[in-house]
């Protein structure tokens, strides 16, 4: 079993989504948003995010965190804000001893919707489908966080398969390719 919490970081709205993979398949466990009061000073808002992330990790006990890695920002101030939000997630991961994996938005879209430039609605619909949660209400940031969790689980399963093939004796590998 493997359980991962996806985080779509932000200082105003921070999305989270928890997914586990068992032998039977993928299970949706939780998703939602941490929202901070825009009237509060930034230190207090960051503390709200940090406290809630720790609470969510303690509640759902994931063993890894999948975090959005950004490369672009509209300006320096928004890059600072993004860095602050991401820092709360990274700190919580370190404090709770979770392994951290980072994925760029295009990687997530490609992995979940099969297309690196998929729109928000396409990603949300594929997230619902993969997890069988047609009736669960999902905020955009919560859907993005679930997509991050799914991206990690899918990619790590591919990596595992590649590893398994690599560990096979050479003769088996040849048989395998003939059988195909």
The distance from CA 89 to its chain's CA centroid, rounded to whole angstroms, is: 11
Q: Mapping DSSP to helix (H, G, I), strand (E, B) and coil, where does residue 134 land?
A: coil
Residue 8 designated active-site: yes
Of the residues 8, 20, 84, 163, only one is catalytic, namely: 8
Main-chain phi, psi angles of 21, to 5 degrees: -115, 120
Of the residues 68, 95, 121, 163, only one is catalytic, namely: 68
Q: Per CB under 8 A, does 35 bind a second copy?
A: no
Binding-site member from 4, 19, 82, 108 for a second copy (CB under 8 A): 82
Q: Mapping DSSP to helix (H, G, I), strand (E, B) and coil, where does residue 103 land?
A: strand
Q: Per CB under 8 A, does 106 bind a second copy?
A: no
Binding-site member from 12, 83, 122, 155 for a second copy (CB under 8 A): 83
Binding-site member from 16, 20, 28, 50 for a second copy (CB under 8 A): 50
Give CB contacts under 8 A, 24+ apart, made by 160-167.
none
Main-chain phi, psi angles of 61, to 5 degrees: 45, 55
Q: Mapping DSSP to helix (H, G, I), strand (E, B) and coil, where does residue 70 land?
A: coil
The position carrying tokens 């998929």 is 118
Binding-site member from 25, 59, 94, 116 for a second copy (CB under 8 A): 94
Given the rule CB under 8 A, which of 20-28, 38-46, 113-121, 131-139 is the region that contacts a second copy?
A: 38-46
Residue ranges in contact with a second copy by CB under 8 A: 41-44, 46-47, 50, 70-73, 76-77, 79-84, 86-88, 90-91, 93-95, 100
């Amino acid at each position: 079993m493997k359980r991962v919490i996806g985080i779509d970081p932000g200082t105003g709205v921070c999305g989270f989504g928890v997914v586990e993979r068992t032998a039977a398949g993928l299970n949706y466990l939780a998703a939602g948003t941490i929202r901070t009061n825009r009237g509060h000073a930034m230190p207090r808002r960051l503390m709200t995010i940090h406290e809630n992330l720790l609470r969510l990790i303690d509640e759902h006990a994931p063993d890894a965190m999948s975090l959005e890695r950004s490369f672009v920002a509209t300006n320096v101030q928004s890059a600072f804000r993004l860095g602050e939000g991401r820092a709360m997630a990274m700190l919580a991961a370190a404090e709770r001893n979770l392994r951290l994996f980072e994925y760029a938005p295009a990687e997530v879209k490609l992995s979940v919707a099969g297309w690196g430039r998929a729109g928000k609605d396409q990603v949300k619909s594929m997230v619902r489908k993969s997890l069988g949660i047609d009736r669960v209400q999902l905020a955009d940031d919560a859907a993005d966080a679930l997509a991050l969790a799914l991206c990690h689980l899918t990619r790590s399963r591919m990596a595992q398969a590649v590893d398994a093939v690599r560990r096979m004796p050479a003769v088996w590998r040849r048989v395998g390719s003939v059988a195909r």
